[in-house]
Structure 1
Amino acid sequence: MSTTHHAFRAPADARALSFKNAERSWKPPRQVIKCPDIIALVAYHHQANVLSTFVPAFDAHFAQSIDLLPKAVGGQGTNIAAALRAANTLLAPVPRGLRRRIWLLTDGQDNHEADLVLAEVARSAAQRTNINTVGFGEGKEISANRLRDISYGTKTGCYMPAESAQALNTLLRKSVDGKPPEAHQGEATVFCIDVSLSMNDKLGGMRKIDVVRETMLGMIRYKQQMWS
């Protein structure tokens, strides 16, 4: 649902990675669910990597791509401009009949190409894309004002802090339109997930990146239930 006011290629070993874990943690629905939404995934540290181009909301490939997030952690900083650039490029050819959204999650501050971020925000706004930003974790590194500037640069974007796994779960469920299928407008959503080294830090006994992985898989299951 909409809120109020708002590449580098995957390494060869990651592309060859077995998807057994994803198959155990998420199963595509047995029945065909006709949902007009499409969804994509970008992982970013000092560069951005498109883990999944747009696929239907319940495509097994998206769950498999989520399972790659822990393997993607690394890099030498945080480049929000690169993440937004990748998302904007994915969204550029999307038909206007679909609502366009970016969910950008980070646990720190951008320290690469920081001067280019607002240009990408302006590009999002020009493409009629809303950006929701999520400051994840308890770290003092998060710049709430910076994330507000990013989200508020689009028409109905919103900044949302998530200091715990439960808070993140609640926020990501907000990305699922709770309207009945017959009243639902199709959406094209890109999730941009910070995979800088600090995402290996613990939050509530789990690595932050593992919390994100499990929460995103839970979001898919929740959406599936809403549409079944």
Structure 2
Amino acid sequence: MDWAIDTPLFGVTISIITYFLARFISQRLRMPILNPLLLAIAAIIFILKTFNIDLETYNLGGNIITFFLAPATIALAVPLYKQWDVFKNNYLIIISGVLVGVLTGVFSTIIMGKLFNFDKLLITSLIPKNTTTPIAIEIANMLGTNASLAVTFVILSGTLGYVIGEYVLKTFNINNNIAKGIALGTASHVMGTTKAMELGDIEGAMSSIAITLAGIITIILVPFVLKLI
């Protein structure tokens, strides 16, 4: 049995199978909390723990999937291209909205971390939570913090945005398509963009550009964050 586990095929196979099963469950039950990514992660953790398989063994194949995260993020430029005129006519509003969102996310994290006396490792791991995974890993390395912990917070913030993002927008009576896309993309990166695409083409396109801008702005802020921490 070890010969089948100690190969890259094992990590790739269980990742694909668990994700498609999770997506099937999510589509059948139609509950926002049952996000396919969250269900797949929980299933993989259960499998690894139950059969006592170490993370390094899983990552022989898991790292192959991770490699495709960056190209997948770049592919989000496609919906933006389709809505280029909308972006061109509203670029100042879009850039300003993303900038305010990133500043609020980063500095509120630092302030709350200091207020509640969080460990420096925890604060720095929380900083990139609103960026997509490949960018979060790079920011974590720049901050000298734990990349795995940073990715965990990225997944949590994305899941939270996917689950409650639409309800928050409705609660505050935010009906503008551009505003909804910017909010979801800036706060919840790719998973927020998934929800934005469900809402409409304009929302999806604006959320896609928000991901890129949020990542760039967060990287620029890193030197200032280090001084504050």
TM-score with structure 2 setting the length = 0.26
Higher radius of gyration, 1 or 2: 2
Taking structure 1 as the reference length, the TM-score comes to: 0.26
Question: Which structure features the higher share of strand residues?
Answer: 1
Identify which of structures 1 and 2 has the higher relative contact order when contacts are C-alpha pairs closer than 8 Å and 6+ apart: 1
